[in-house]
Amino acid sequence: MAADRHADRTVIVTGAASGIGRGIARRFGEEGANVVVADLRRDPKQGEKYDTDVTTPTDELVREETAGDATYVETDVGDPESVEAMVERVVDTYDGIDVLVNNAGIQIVGDSQTTSVEEWQQSIDVDLSGAFYCAKFAIPHIVEREGQIINVGSVRGFEGGGGPPYAAAKGGVVNMTRDLAMELGEENVRVNCINPGYVETPLQDILTEEDMAKSREQTLLPRFGTPEDVGDAAVFLASEEAGFITGANLPVDGGWLAHSGL
Question: Catalytic residue numbers?
Answer: 166
Rounded to whole angstroms, the Cα distance separating 71 from 64 reads: 11
CA neighbours closer than 13 Å in the CB half-sphere of residue 201: 25
Burial of 259 (0-12, 13-18, 19+ CB in 10 A): middle
Burial of 38-59, coded b for 16+ CB within 10 Å and e otherwise, reads bbbebeeeebeebbeebeebee
- 3-state secondary structure at position 114: coil
- φ/ψ of residue 25, rounded to 5: -60, -40
Rounded to whole angstroms, the Cα distance separating 114 from 118 reads: 11
Q: Which amino acid is at 23?
A: G
Cβ(250)–Cβ(193) below 8 Å:
yes
Rounded to whole angstroms, the Cα distance separating 150 from 191 reads: 6
Cβ(232)–Cβ(23) below 8 Å:
no
